[in-house]
Amino acid sequence: MAGRARLWNECALNLLDDIVRAIRDTEDRAQLRAVTRAFADDLGCRYFAILTHEDLRSPKPGTVDLRDYADGATRRIIAEGRYRRDPVMRGCLFAEAAFLWSNLPAIIELDRHDRLALELGRREGLNEGITVPCARLGACFGSCTFAGLKRVRSAEMLLGPAQTFGTFAFQQARRFAGPAQRGPLPRLEPRHRDCILLAGQGLKDKLIAHRLGLTVRTVESYMRDARRLFGASDRTELLAAAILAGEIATDELRPSRTVDSGR
């Protein structure tokens, strides 16, 4: 058994070394794209995407956008600017490491919009995926995704290799993209932040008003102002935007035992 364990460890280390070397040997985006396409094929995935979670319709310096993805999902997430509404990208905010899309219900609460997005994806061949969250202090959040697995039963076994590849590939893609030039992020007033935080914990406007000693109309006004500030169309997008801007930490969203959601 000990000899077998050593053999497995040696094989695993060799695989990780091969992955890291292949990525570090790339000299430009085209080579990194080719390596990522080859790795996706080895995983048995039809699609891949290495992206920063921002509006890619007007990319800024430092933006990462390297993908070979389904047309419909690309249109919804990028062309229509719905990246903050995408359930997989939102899942990245709460996941600690690479995750399967089938495990999303354990990571975030899915609403009807999320379920519709996932169903539309399945119709486009995005039946299962693996996404690696990629974060660095002071830099825009991002991810590396492999989707459309041909061998879904083996998906769990692919998490480790995908985690390694995704982490190093995103770093390399960010290096090729050059230094980021980001303007000041939107900042919330304290009461606006309080309202978003409680909404993120599951409270309705009436309970938020009661908790903060405000009127329901005032809470509605604060939420409306915050959506306008971040360009968010609903509460889900607003919460994602506030987290991405560093205004709210994900661990703050764990409600206390005494919280009544009003549902």
Q: What is the pLDDT of residue 4?
A: 53
- Of 151, 177, 203, the residue at which a domain comes to its end is 177
pLDDT in tens, 23-79: 999 999 999 999 999 999 999 999 999 999 999 998 888 999 999 999 999 999 999
* Domain membership flag for residue 258: no
CATH number assigned to the domain comprising residue 230: 1.10.10.10
Task: Verify that 170 and 249 share a domain, yes or no.
Answer: no
Task: Verify that 166 and 202 share a domain, yes or no.
Answer: no
24's CB contacts (< 8 A; 6+ apart) are 168, 172
Q: Is the dihedral of CA 191, 198, 210, 227 positive or negative?
A: positive
DSSP 75: I
Q: What is the pLDDT of residue 18?
A: 85
CA gap 172, 34 in Å, rounded = 13
pLDDT tier, 10 (very low <50, low <70, confident <90, very high otherwise): low
Q: What is the pLDDT of residue 26?
A: 95
pLDDT in tens, 157-202: 999 999 999 999 999 999 999 887 666 778 899 999 999 999 999 9
Task: Verify that 134 and 197 share a domain, yes or no.
Answer: no
Task: Verify that 165 and 197 share a domain, yes or no.
Answer: no
* Domain membership flag for residue 246: yes
In b/e form, how buried is each residue of 134-157, taking b as 16+ CB within 10 angstroms?
beeeeebbbbbbbbbbeeeeebee
Q: Is the dihedral of CA 114, 115, 118, 119 positive or negative?
A: negative
Q: What is the pLDDT of residue 42?
A: 93
Cα pseudo-dihedral 164, 169, 171, 172, rounded to 10: 140
* 234 CB-side CA count, 13 A: 8
For 158, phi and psi rounded to 5 degrees?
-90, -5
CA gap 103, 193 in Å, rounded = 29
Q: What is the pLDDT of residue 239?
A: 92
With 0-12 / 13-18 / 19 or more C-beta atoms within 10 angstroms meaning exposed / middle / buried, residue 263 is exposed
pLDDT in tens, 229-253: 988 888 998 998 898 888 888 888 8
Supply the range of the domain harboring residue 63.
2-177
Whether the pLDDT of residue 11 is over 70: the answer is no
Whether the pLDDT of residue 257 is over 70: the answer is no
Task: Verify that 173 and 198 share a domain, yes or no.
Answer: no
Count up the domains in the chain and report the number. Answer: 2
Task: Verify that 161 and 198 share a domain, yes or no.
Answer: no
Whether the pLDDT of residue 258 is over 50: the answer is no
Task: Verify that 18 and 124 share a domain, yes or no.
Answer: yes
Whether the pLDDT of residue 221 is over 80: the answer is yes
Task: Verify that 19 and 134 share a domain, yes or no.
Answer: yes
As a whole number, mean pLDDT of residues 95-99 equals: 94
Q: What is the pLDDT of residue 88?
A: 96
- Of 154, 177, 200, the residue at which a domain comes to its end is 177
Sheet holding 65-68, edge to edge: 65-68, 45-52, 142-149, 129-134, 99-100
* Domain membership flag for residue 128: yes
* Domain membership flag for residue 184: no
Whether the pLDDT of residue 261 is over 50: the answer is no
Share of the chain above pLDDT 70, in %: 89
Q: How high does pLDDT run on average in the chain?
A: 88
- Of 127, 151, 177, the residue at which a domain comes to its end is 177
CATH number assigned to the domain comprising residue 141: 3.30.450.80
Q: What is the pLDDT of residue 183?
A: 65
Q: What is the pLDDT of residue 111?
A: 93
Contact assessment for residue 148 and residue 125, using Cβ atoms and an 8 Å cutoff: yes
pLDDT in tens, 109-161: 999 999 999 999 999 999 999 999 998 766 789 999 999 998 888 899 999 99
- Beta carbons within 10 angstroms of residue 164's beta carbon: 19
CA gap 100, 130 in Å, rounded = 5
| CA dist 89 → 39, 169, 215 (Å) | 21, 17, 33
